Amino acid sequence: MPETAPIAVAMSGGVDSSTVAALLVREGRAAVGFTMQLWNQRRLPQLTGDGVGRCCSLDDVYDARFVAERIGIPYYVVNFEDRFEEKVVKPFVEQYLAGRTPIPCTLCNNFVKFDQFVELADSLGARQIATGHYARVEQDPRTGRYRLLRGRDEAKDQTYFLFGLTQEQLSRTLFPIGHLTKPEVRKLAGDLDIPVAAKHDSQEICFVPNGDYAAFLDAYLAEQGIPRETTRGEIVTVDGRAIGEHQGVHRFTVGQRKGLGIAAPEPLYVIATEPAAQRVIVGPDRDLLRSRLRASGVNWVSWAGLSAPVRARVKIRNKHVPAWATLHPTGDPAAADVHFDEPQRAVTPGQAAVFYDGDAVAGGGWIG
């Protein structure tokens, strides 16, 4: 083991994590850089993408290695493909087939980046890990609990994807750029002479080229030799009238308007999908509104739990502006009933409901 306890930095080759590594070096920390190889991009060759903005591409590894060399830290690429497929890709596919709209980034954070990576760090004598997420961690001096706070840059805040972190995981994590805005990070990267300071931001789901998740699903299932049951089905209105056909419920998500291929007097949206019956239910915008949801599998973060109804703001998708609601206990400590003050549009099964207490993530769970 090295003389000083190292800190393991997750490096994607992008500007954020590169800046994190450089900042730690500037502070005199014994940083060790790692890139997690999560998915083999050559695996589904029919999904030809341009490779831009995808994870684990050789270009990103090249960039991360170059940054590590520039700032003078040891650097390794570690193969986490097995865990990623088991804990992220398979559930992603299963959820879509079950008519839900999953968030693989959260699963990746819970089970890979803050789990297998922490394990690896541990095994190398690193008590702490650092990542380039836009979020902050603070310990509450009164309760000793670790609080997860929104990143200072509202537009880049990533706490929606981090609500599943346990107290143990938070206690060991540093988000060194959480108090900065993206422009500040770019400027800092330039000042630190980081070669990727001007690199574009990554987009979309890292293992799905061009955001075409339906094509990914088809290619993955074909590779696994899993025959698809009939995917064609009916498009029906909320009052039960069949008004068209579709090519598979997994191609639709709640709130979607495009791709229905139906002419109607008023714009139609997907209200729900029923995978068992292969039905897609559509209706006008007002039918998308819901004033209640139940969050299950709740992980409590800044709060220890819920013993009485409490006010909070609740975010139901990454780009959603958190809406005021009252959280009600359900008897199950890992669930909460959310009653919104105003009905919310497109409450989507499979997405997360994340509860905010000011800037702090109180907790969050999955929309059933």
Annotated catalytic sites, by residue? 108, 206
The C-alpha torsion from 187 through 51 and 215 to 243, rounded to 10°, is 50
Between strands 7-10 and 128-130, the pairing is: parallel
Which residue is it, tokens 């019956």?
A: 277
CA atoms within 13 A on the CB side of 290: 16
How far apart, in Å, are the Cα atoms of 169 and each of 91, 114, 163, 282, 302?
A: 22, 6, 11, 41, 13
Q: Smallest gap, in angstroms, from Cβ of residue 224 to another protein?
A: 17
- Comparison of 62 and 324: residue with beta carbon closer to another protein: 62
Phi-psi region of 293 (alpha: psi -120 to 50; beta: other; left: phi over 0): beta
Q: Which lies closer to another protein via its Cβ, residue 25 or residue 335?
A: 25
First-last CA distance in the chain: 46
3-class DSSP state of 197: coil
Q: Dihedral of CA 334/337/343/345: which sign?
A: positive
Binding site for another protein (CB under 8 A): 1-2, 6, 32, 35, 37, 56, 58, 61, 65, 74, 76-79, 81-82, 119-120, 122-125
Give min distance, CB of 149 to another protein, in A. 29
Q: Which is closer to another protein, CB of 119 or CB of 201?
A: 119
**Residues 28, 21 contacting (CB under 8 angstroms):** no
Residue whose CB is less far from another protein, 202 or 326: 202
Sequence-separated contacts (24+) of 268-271 with Cβ below 8 Å: 269/346, 271/238
Specify the residue, 38 or 281, whose C-beta has the smaller distance to another protein: 38
Shortest gap between Cβ of 40 and another protein (angstroms)?
8
